[in-house]
């Protein structure tokens, strides 16, 4: 579709180009009623055509004073007219291509920036909703614990684990290797009252080290031990958790 065809409204099925070409006949009063109605409706919403009409209107009075019988015969156009027209058409094509490329770039940027801006606004709104002006400052972060892991399977190798106490539970971050490739392993946390609660699962990767963040809904003060068991329930890794006081 030509860029001119996308400018302004298109009453009664006429394109913008067709309506613009009617301007000359309109100022001379030579348009039929359907075309006149369509053009007037188009002019209400097209500033470009209204500007062209204002330029043509003064010429209409002069043209009406011309006597056709006394007008000279047709004059041959200058030789360079065709060249000038061809150059103008080529220049318009280049400008139209540049406009189309800019429109595509703007669309791509909008597709990328709008979601990012929306996410940023949502984050700000959420922060305002969660932390009103009179909210107390957040509690200081609890120090992480760096504790030694004890492999109970000769194939498993591990060093230390990071224990992160959260308000909602406990997180154990560890890096270990030697778990059977493709086999399922489960984390289990034992509590002070003797319960054993799940703390997530992972797949073994053989000799390649696996990095896991295993979590459970048990507070740090209530946890006394963390273990990893294989699909048969056999303990392959142990992490004793020193007793801590709540609060």
Work out the mean pLDDT of the chain and round it to a whole number.
80
Q: Minimal CA–CA distance to 238: which of 183, 190, 170?
A: 190
How many angstroms separate the CA atoms of 117 and 88, rounded? Answer: 42
Q: Minimal CA–CA distance to 245: which of 219, 221, 218?
A: 221
In this prediction, residues 161-188 reach a mean pLDDT of: 95
In this prediction, residues 132-153 reach a mean pLDDT of: 74
Class of domain 3-72: mainly alpha
What is the pLDDT, as a whole number, of residue 118? Answer: 62
How many angstroms separate the CA atoms of 81 and 2, rounded? Answer: 24
Instruction: Output 58 or 154, whichever has higher pLDDT.
Output: 154
How many angstroms separate the CA atoms of 208 and 152, rounded? Answer: 18
In this prediction, residues 90-103 reach a mean pLDDT of: 76
How many angstroms separate the CA atoms of 73 and 87, rounded? Answer: 28
CATH architecture assignment, domain 145-240: Sandwich (2.60)
Percent with pLDDT over 70 in the chain: 70
Asked if residue 138 has pLDDT above 70, the reply is no
Which segment of 116-120, 128-132, 185-189, 207-211 scores lowest on mean pLDDT? 128-132
Neighbour tally for 215: CB within 10 Å: 19
What is the pLDDT, as a whole number, of residue 20? Answer: 86
Contact 180, 146 (CB under 8 A): no
């Amino acid at each position: 579709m030509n860029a001119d065809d996308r400018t302004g409204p298109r009453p009664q099925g006429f394109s913008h180009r067709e309506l613009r070409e009617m301007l000359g006949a309109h100022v001379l009063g030579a348009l039929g009623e359907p075309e006149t109605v369509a053009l007037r409706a188009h002019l209400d919403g097209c500033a470009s055509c209204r500007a062209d009409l204002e330029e043509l209107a003064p010429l209409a009075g002069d043209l009406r004073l011309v006597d056709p019988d006394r007008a000279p015969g047709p004059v041959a156009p200058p030789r360079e007219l065709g060249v000038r027209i061809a150059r103008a058409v080529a220049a318009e094509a280049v400008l139209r291509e540049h406009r189309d490329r800019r429109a595509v770039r703007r669309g791509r940027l909008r597709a990328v920036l709008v979601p990012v801006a929306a996410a940023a606004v949502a984050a700000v709104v959420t922060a305002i909703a969660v932390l009103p002006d009179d909210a107390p400052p957040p509690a200081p972060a609890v120090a992480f614990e760096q504790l030694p892991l004890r492999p109970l399977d000769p194939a498993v190798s591990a060093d230390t684990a990071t224990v992160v106490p959260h308000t909602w539970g406990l997180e154990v971050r560890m890096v270990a290797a030697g778990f059977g490739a493709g086999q399922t392993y489960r984390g289990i946390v034992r509590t002070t009252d003797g319960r054993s609660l799940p703390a997530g699962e992972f797949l073994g990767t053989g000799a390649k080290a696996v990095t896991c963040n295993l979590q459970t809904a048990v507070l740090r003060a209530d946890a006394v031990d963390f273990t990893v068991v294989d699909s048969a329930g056999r303990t392959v890794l142990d992490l004793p958790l020193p007793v801590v006081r709540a609060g």
